[in-house]
Amino acid sequence: MRLSRYFLPVLKETPSEAQIVSHRLMLRAGMIKQQAAGIYSWLPLGFKVLRKIEAIVHEEQIRAGHIPMLMPTLQSADLWKQSGRYDAYGPEMLRLTDRHGRDMLYGPTNEEMITEIVGTYVSSYKALPLTLYHIQWKFRDEVRPRFGVMRGREFYMKDGYNFDLTKEDALHAYNRHLVSYLRTYERMGLQAIPMRADSGPIGGDYTHEFLVLAETGESEVFYDAAITELKFGDREIDYDNREECQGVLEEFTSRYARTDETHDETAFAEIPEDRRRTARGIEVGQIFYFGTEYSEKMGAVVQGPDGKQVPLHMGSHGIGVSRLLGAIIEASHDDKGIIWPEGVTPFHCGIVNLKQGDAAADAACQGLYDALTKAGLEPLYDDRDERAGGKFATMDLIGLPWRITVGPRGLKNGVVELTSRRTGESQELSPEEAVKRVIEIYAPHHDHLRDEQPMAGRSFHTWV
């Protein structure tokens, strides 16, 4: 993309309504625009990151064997009357009436609808295990929408639902989700710690929240610092292997880590004092196992191996896809702007032309642009006729992790400069070497840069 042809309405002023850094930076970098309290338009740059995050979520869900689908945003109130949550949900539910006077609502979550779907089509245990998910807009009429996309009213969520014959099978689904979530967040450059949580209105005995530590987080958390040493890394997991998934769950939940709702002072006091931490965190996901409550109410009953009719064991699992943009920025920025992790960056590399109109500089920039594009990467070429300082400030603000700077002086010596946004370190390289280096940097994030088939036949079609 050439910046002169893009739509990137960056703001010079710091917007006064934004209280936390991620909200400020998203507004300043021209990623979002507020349309009403807690409701945003996703401008091109923000939309691009949203799609990258969504693509990672899809890939990791599909890797774990979960099946994508799409349910509507509007739901019939009848479903919720059946589960008993129509009244229980209270003023957070946005209720509407259609022209025929039918009660409708904008879905805050989809337990009822998916259970009704599965109840309609699945009649035998032979169709199990089954985990369906979608990524869809939700609406919760929050009392205090704030912090931009972090606590919106309209927000984008991945929500998945498992259907199993037995509690044991459903707990394997729970473990599988925990493992796939660890992998998902790490690919986005985030450490999200699973913490024992309270199940709230969803109900059930088993639940973990995933928290990203950040001073601006809305949740108070208590944990053993040893947990932050754990890394999922690039281990290959066989998601069908129960012991393996259980093992990862045990490893990542072996240390004390709880939200304030489940905090236990006595257990906390047993952690050596130098490892005891009280901090704040951003909840980027939550998983639940809640048994047969919904399946009994919504009629998701199947014939078991012994011919008897049994209600299905269920769980639900959510990732705050739009909230993740805020969480990533809270975890990765400096006083100049955002620093995107390579896994989610909207463009892979900025190209800054120090002297637009200089024949050699223009040609070198175009050459870099073409070479990176041909390799399957997306550069953002600042081809505007602006002074260098302004171009650097924009690149720093929007946070591309790598920048190639091209100027007539360097070109005389056959070099351009490759700069890391994170460390600020620069290297002088020939244009060819710079391209090679950028490809190497992104190779771990893109199958095609490693000459490999993308997850043979299982990759979600991405169009970012």
Residues within the interface to ligand P5A (CB under 6 A)? 109, 140, 142, 151-152, 155, 157, 159, 202, 283-286, 316-318, 320, 322-323
CB nearer to ligand P5A: pick between 155 and 381: 155
CB 42 within 8 A of CB 32: yes
User: How far, in Å, CA of 293 to CA of 174, rounded?
Assistant: 16
Q: Which amino acid is at 194?
A: P
Q: Least CB distance from residue 253 to ligand P5A, whole Å? A: 17
Q: Least CB distance from residue 349 to ligand P5A, whole Å? A: 30
- Chain position whose Cβ is nearest to ligand P5A: 320
Going from the C-alpha of 325 to that of each of 89, 189, 390, the distances in angstroms are 27, 12, 25
Q: Least CB distance from residue 157 to ligand P5A, whole Å? A: 5
CB nearer to ligand P5A: pick between 317 and 403: 317
Q: Least CB distance from residue 143 to ligand P5A, whole Å? A: 10
CB nearer to ligand P5A: pick between 64 and 397: 64
CB nearer to ligand P5A: pick between 152 and 341: 152
Q: Least CB distance from residue 213 to ligand P5A, whole Å? A: 15
303 Cβ contact list (under 8 Å, min separation 6): 123, 124, 125, 309, 310
Q: Which long-range contacts (CB under 8 A, 24 or more apart) does 265-268 make?
A: 268/222
Residue 204, classified by CB atoms within 10 Å of its CB into exposed (0-12), middle (13-18) or buried (19+), is middle
Q: Least CB distance from residue 38 to ligand P5A, whole Å? A: 7
Print burial letters for 56-74: b (CB count within 10 Å at least 16), e (below 16): bbbbbbbbbebeeeebeee
Query: Which residue carries 């109109």 as its tokens?
Result: 357
CB nearer to ligand P5A: pick between 21 and 132: 132
Residue 266, classified by CB atoms within 10 Å of its CB into exposed (0-12), middle (13-18) or buried (19+), is exposed
CB nearer to ligand P5A: pick between 291 and 318: 318
Please give the span between the terminal C-alpha atoms of the chain, in angstroms, as a whole number: 13
